[in-house]
Structure 1
């Protein structure tokens, strides 16, 4: 027996639910089903932000917001003018979920629990009679005179319109490719760097601002850097991994990482600073007098690396030692061998080619009555609530067009 709906949404994640709810709110007469391959829905929402759910970011100007998207910057300008971070906040407040802004701009539910978002979505789904059907792996999709037919492992469905909100699901990309949609091959984004350097990793837990770059490329990023027991992480590294996702994949995650611990300062400028220290703090122990306000263990690490004795005074510094220290502070180099996933952030660069989507409606330019939302398309962002904002915005556009047509 075939189950028939006006709209079927494939994928029970953030984008799938937001699409379904916004269709239902704008056109309650439509019948809607969400098909989810797993036993549970909204699993990524549950673990995101360490279980707190980083709903969006407090960046309210579309032209500024798009700059956080290594892929999708140009395409999202129009959509963000239709539904931006402020609209997300208003939507959740309307449904009795208040959000709070943290110092770095990330926004979370006031409850600090992702369950608040999940409960909101599930309760609204019940209110609007949206059918949530789990353990349904879509195996075939084909067009008929009556609409789109979908086969799962144990059921057949019929829909007038379908929405793909399947995230980074290779099987769904393969299915779309069979319909002549171009899929940009996926590569990981948002990852940390593995460095086999015991002296560095012994400093695990230390964080400090730095400018990071990949040697012999144009890839560069700035921000806090965190030393971990496997290498380096933190916002600076995550930004670099996001913008360099494709280049670093081609390098097979083996490359030379350059760290400028002084950020915007050049080597010769730091050398001059060190010369001043030598004069002004001549009689002071260099290990105890740290002009640059580095964490003590990190400063000692730099001095040791520059082969400066623990009992040395600033006056004892040779020209060669000053040059070595200036070089370390501004052009510190490490060999990266591999990557690690950042916490539970499973973000992929790749997906449906952006040229094949109408970004006013999120409709496929190739398949009639087919829409996309969320990470199924070739859009991704750095960490901080931006990937969710892409999901909310693209879902809202798809839902609005479906509800009014």
Structure 2
């Protein structure tokens, strides 16, 4: 049986960040990471297409929390302790400058997640953090005020225990045995499967700024929309999937969405089309792409409005004009299923937020039990926000443990 001052279960982003900060702030503490895999930091490695989307250039806590469908209220206080600017400074101090891209996402200047991994491994070694791979946790219990963690390779004792295992059902089950409640996990950040004549052979087309809502709900989103081989993706869809994770799961991913491709009202759009009927009388509607829409999408919406390639503006009747306005501003599509969004696998669910003290990220049920990262019921939209939650929680845990 091996005894350490601090045991961290999970060798991912939150686990390493907590370990390094504890060991740096209090070198007298012995710290060990237990990782079930043969190597750690796998999500860091594949995030952002292998570039690692470290955080997001949002520097106001009240604005930053709006990107968290679950955790918005709870993270406001923690973000006042450690947030984006602190993350940037932390990495820069350790030789990893970050850069901001146009959409606000932040990456290492090297454009390689390996830079982040190397930074963590070097810092862990420098501060004598012990990393034990192939240690799958089998049980956790308290014995005489010490945490006993049984793994596939032996038992460990520690005064303080940090759980940073992400969305791991086995660990959630162990935490339930300890009296914690788990919010039922469901997928978040997914794309929509849609079979529809209007989009079925134009993959790769992007509508730059749409409004989209789930029919019969209050769920809505806006932003770029990408048409794919199987349906729709890009930020407008991913944001909707994150905020609607629970409700859409309850509907078994079968629902309707209404899309406004041009972010205008039906009435304003119809008025504009009536003007075009006068101005472009002799031209064909098919060749007169409007509203900065991609040509291929415009062609599809024209056909869906009951016109053909030869239809001229002058010849359009009331029904055709209204049909086109309707396709542009309130097109309804049937969603039948979801697909995982590339490597950004995120789960909504985890330890009930009411059971965590967000000043310290300590369990309210067990003293000296701490949580960091996605193991708790916090998740975010895509863009570096999930990592920021990991850095913030891990840093606050480290700060409190290191005292």
TM range (shorter): over 0.9
SS at match of 1:66: helix
Q: What does residue 238 of structure 1 align with?
A: 238
Q: Give me the whole-angstrom Cα distance separating, in 1, the residues matched to 2:122 and 2:164.
A: 20
1:146: how far off? 5.3
Gaps of 5+ in 2: none
CA contact (8 A) 2:290 2:298 kept: no
After superposing the two structures, state which structure 1 stretch, 278-287 or 126-135, moved more: 278-287
Q: What does residue 83 of structure 1 align with?
A: 82
Q: Which runs of 4+ in 1 moved over 4 A?
A: none
Q: What does residue 341 of structure 2 align with?
A: 342
SS at match of 1:200: coil
The CA RMSD measured in Å over matched residues stands at 0.8
Q: What does residue 277 of structure 1 align with?
A: 276
Task: State the Cα deviation string for residues 295-342 of structure 1 (Å, max 9, x = none).
Answer: 111111111111112112110111110011111111111111100000
Q: What does residue 49 of structure 1 align with?
A: 48
Q: What does residue 221 of structure 2 align with?
A: 221
Q: Give me the whole-angstrom Cα distance separating, in 1, the residues matched to 2:191 and 2:300.
A: 22
Q: Give me the whole-angstrom Cα distance separating, in 2, the residues matched to 1:178 and 1:146.
A: 17
CA contact (8 A) 2:141 2:178 kept: no
Structure 1 segment 31-50 matched on structure 2, within 5 A: 31-50=30-49
Structure 1 segment 317-332 matched on structure 2, within 5 A: 317-332=316-331
1:154: how far off? 2.5
Q: Give me the whole-angstrom Cα distance separating, in 1, the residues matched to 2:328 and 2:253.
A: 24
- In 2 relative to 1, CA 199–276 (structure 1 residues): closer, same or farther, beyond 3 Å? closer
The number of residues matched between the two structures is 402
1:201: how far off? 2.4
Q: Give me the whole-angstrom Cα distance separating, in 1, the residues matched to 2:294 and 2:254.
A: 29
Structure 1 segment 88-237 matched on structure 2, within 5 A: 88-145=87-144, 147-208=146-207, 209-237=209-237
SS at match of 1:139: strand
SS at match of 2:137: coil
TM-score computed with the length of structure 1 as normaliser: 0.98
Task: State the Cα deviation string for residues 104-126 of structure 1 (Å, max 9, x = none).
Answer: 00000000000000000001111
Q: Give me the whole-angstrom Cα distance separating, in 1, the residues matched to 2:62 and 2:300.
A: 42
Q: What does residue 385 of structure 1 align with?
A: 384
Q: Give me the whole-angstrom Cα distance separating, in 2, the residues matched to 1:198 and 1:177.
A: 47
Q: Give me the whole-angstrom Cα distance separating, in 2, the residues matched to 1:143 and 1:218.
A: 44
Q: Give me the whole-angstrom Cα distance separating, in 1, the residues matched to 2:34 and 2:141.
A: 16
Q: Give me the whole-angstrom Cα distance separating, in 2, the residues matched to 1:199 and 1:319.
A: 22
Structure 1 segment 298-313 matched on structure 2, within 5 A: 298-313=297-312
Q: Give me the whole-angstrom Cα distance separating, in 1, the residues matched to 2:163 and 2:199.
A: 44
